[in-house]
Amino acid sequence: MEKILERNNQGITLIALIITVIIMLILAGITMNMIVGDHGILTKTNESKKIAQEAQQNEANMLNNLYEEMNTIISNGGGNEQEQPSEDIYVSLNGNTLSFYNNEKDAYANADSEEHYYGNVKNLDNYRDKWGKEKEKIEKVVIVHPIMPNESASYFYNLTNLKEIENLNKMDTRNVTVMNGMFYNCSSLTSIDVSGLDTSNVTGMNGMFSDCNNLTSIDVSGFNINKVTDMNYMFSGCSSLTNINLRGFDTSNAIQMEGMFERCSSLTSIDVSGFDTSKVNDMSSMFGGCSSLTSIDLSGIDTANVIDMWGMFEGCSSLTSIDLSGFDTSKVTNMREMFSGCNNLNSIDISRFDTSKVTSMYRMFYNCSNLTSILVGMAWTTDNVTDMEGMFTNCGVSEVTIKML
């Protein structure tokens, strides 16, 4: 009986142990599932880690995109690259500031009176009839929005008190063909940056900077002028200019250069040796009144088609010598006052001059008071000359030598 009880107790103990093991396994399974199951701690931790990593990556991408956008904005001057130039150009005056806009609302709001709102000037031929009436009041011009003039851009013509032009680079001149008188008589401007002007379609620059008599220097070396035919009086009257950068000037289609540097009385030297003047027919007064010029390089000048040399060097009173050996004057008809007032020239060699078509030599050497020798060649003739009045008046020349070529 005791053995039977002992066996029963052993069986109960074994069953209890098995049950205990099963319970422990169940609990362990639950625990493991909580740790590594689909909804386990480790799974949740991994998912959280993944979510955090994705959030970090998204944040990094957003920051990178923002950084790139900021760089683009900075490199394009504040984001105006998205603002296309407008052919509709609205103008208004507020106080002494003339402003250009791409919309009526802003321009009208800026005007200090109804009279000073000038509307859309897109198709306006004569700007002088608008703000020209206030020319003495205007001291500043602001190009507020990018604008694109059509044919002409002579907005600043005769603004005598204009001292500053802000955002000129916002004026897109790709369609402009005429810049005649663009800055004419802007006599209060002391400097101007025209590096942003697109001149690729311009044919006329007549008087473009004429009478800007307070400009001390100007750099037009970046101008694309291969379509320009008219350069008459382009820098005429720029009496304070001491430096002018003409490097890269493509003048191959230029026809007229009358008075181009006339009265640039502060220039001491000028290099036009790179000019292609093969089509030019008018060089009258080209350097007239350049009273401070002590040297001038004419070595590249082609005068084969020039007809008029009236006053070409008139008043160049500081020149002591001039090399004209490359001049072809076979088509020239007018040499009126060509060297008049060159009172520091001691001698002049024009032995290559062909004067067979010249009709006027009026005051050709007038007031060349230090000139003692004029050298001419066999092609020199006065057969067709009808006016020689005052040709040697106040001239110190004692002889004219015929030079055999």
pLDDT average, residue stretch 92-119: 95
Q: Is residue 41 pLDDT above 90, yes or no?
A: no
In tens, the pLDDT along 26-39 reads 555 555 555 445 55
Q: How confident is the model at residue 57 (pLDDT cuts 50, 70, 90)?
A: confident
Q: How confident is the model at residue 370 (pLDDT cuts 50, 70, 90)?
A: very high
How much is the pLDDT for 182? 93
Of 29-38, 79-88, 130-139, 227-236, the poorest mean pLDDT is in 29-38
Q: Is the dihedral of CA 80, 84, 87, 90 positive or negative?
A: negative
Q: 402 pairs with which residues across the strands?
A: 376
In tens, the pLDDT along 260-283 reads 999 999 999 888 888 999 999 999
How much is the pLDDT for 2? 45
How much is the pLDDT for 397? 76
Share of the chain above pLDDT 90, in %: 63
Q: What is the pTM of this model?
A: 0.77
Q: What angle do CA 97, 103, 106 make, to 5 degrees?
A: 50
pLDDT average, residue stretch 12-23: 58
**3-state class (DSSP) for residue 38:** coil
Alpha carbon 169 to its chain's center: 8
How much is the pLDDT for 17? 61
pLDDT average, residue stretch 134-149: 94
Looking at 214-281, list the stretches that DSSP marks H as alpha helix, in order from N- to C-terminal side: none
How much is the pLDDT for 392? 92
Query: So where are the chain's domains?
Result: 2-75, 85-167
The pairing of beta strand 347-350 with beta strand 373-377: parallel
- Tell me the pLDDT of the chain averaged across its residues: 85
User: What is the full DSSP assignment across 79-147?
Assistant: TGGGSPPBS--EEEEETTEEEEESSHHHHHHH-SSGGGEEEE-TT-S-GGGTGGGGTTT--EEEE-S-B
- Taking Cα atoms as reference points, which of 290, 179, 295, 159 lies closest to residue 227? 179
In tens, the pLDDT along 292-332 reads 999 888 988 999 999 999 999 999 999 999 999 999 999 99
Alpha carbon 35 to its chain's center: 73
pLDDT average, residue stretch 242-259: 92
Cα–Cα separations (whole angstroms), residue 92 to 103, 108, 115, 134, 167? 11, 7, 9, 11, 16
Q: Across 124-138, 150-164, 390-404, which has the greatest mean pLDDT?
A: 150-164
What is the radius of gyration, based on Cα positions, of the chain?
42
Of 77-81, 217-221, 265-269, the poorest mean pLDDT is in 77-81
Cα–Cα distance for residue pair 106/102, rounded to 1 Å: 8
CB-based contacts of 399, cutoff 8 Å, min separation 6: 373, 374
How much is the pLDDT for 247? 83
Burial of 312 (0-12, 13-18, 19+ CB in 10 A): buried
SS3 for 61-98, per residue? HHHHHHHHHHHHHHHCCCCHHHCCCECCCEEEEECCEE
How much is the pLDDT for 4? 40
